[in-house]
Amino acid sequence: MSLAQKYSKEVKQILSKYPPEGKRSAMMPLLFLAQREEGYITKSAMQDIAQMLDVTETEVAGVVGFYTLYHEEKAGKYRIQVCTDLPCALRGAEKFMDDLCGNLGIKVGETTSDGVVTVEAVTCLAACDKAPMFQTQGPEGIKYHENMTVDKTVELINSLKNVAEASK
């Protein structure tokens, strides 16, 4: 099923935000839509979007490759994206990252063996006063988790595992 068929209501609503001459503006919201279910954007979804917006597939792929929140490869169901940028690092983010990875037994960029969580390091998320912090990117969108400890994070990961298990 094409993206337009699958999410007809959302696609219509997205296109209505932009003037006809600015149809291409729907590119980014459509890419988020294409990513919703699997957590990454497939080639066929890119083809759908190219067709909808009268642009080439290469142009769509160029946009996908440019922005860090779009993914072309499957990872864990949830991406835990820890800010390790300067302000957070001054407040212990690097140690938090090391401890978290140690606890999960994975390295930065890797996925837990059950496929639920991938841990990634990202640049500033505009929450510098609430470090250590991270966002989770998953099927429900993006959510911030601030003033975190490893214990609180493990608790969160366990609840995400339960959600993932229940949705199987």
Partner 1 sequence: MSHILLRHREIPDINQLSVYKKNGGFAAFKNAVMKMKPNEVTDVVKNSGLRGRGGAGFPTGMKWSFIDNKNWPHYVVANADESEPGTFKDREIMEGNPFQFLEGLAIGCYAVGANAAYVYLRGEFWELGSSLDEKIAEMEEAGFLGDKLFGTEYSLRIYTHLGAGAYICGEETALLESLEGKRGQPRVRPPFPPAVGLYGKPTIINNVETFTNVPMIMANGAEWHKSIGTTDSPGVKIFSLSGRVRKPGNYELPLGTTFRELIYTHGGGVQDSRKVKAIMPAGASSSLILVDDDKILDTPMDYASVRTLKADLGSASIIVVDDTVSMDWLVNKTVHFFKHESCGKCTPCREGTYWMSRISERIHDGAATRADVDLLLNVAKQMQGKCLCALGEFSTMAVVSGIERFRKDFDNAVKA
Give the nearest distance from C-beta 81 to partner 1 in angstroms.
9
Give the nearest distance from C-beta 159 to partner 1 in angstroms.
18
Q: Which of 19/105 has CB closer to partner 1?
A: 19
Nearest to 138 by CA among 39, 67, 40: 39
Collapsing DSSP to helix, strand or coil, 138 comes out as strand
Q: Which of 143/152 has CB closer to partner 1?
A: 143
Contact residues for partner 1, defined by CB under 8 A: 17-19, 21-22, 24-29, 31-32, 53, 55, 59, 62-63, 66-70, 85-87, 89-91, 122-129, 135, 141-144
CA dist 147 and 152 (Å) reads: 9
Collapsing DSSP to helix, strand or coil, 75 comes out as coil
Give the nearest distance from C-beta 119 to partner 1 in angstroms.
17
E strands, 10-153, in order: 78-83, 117-122, 134-138, 141-145
Q: Which of 87/161 has CB closer to partner 1?
A: 87
The two structure tokens encoding residue 122: 């990202």
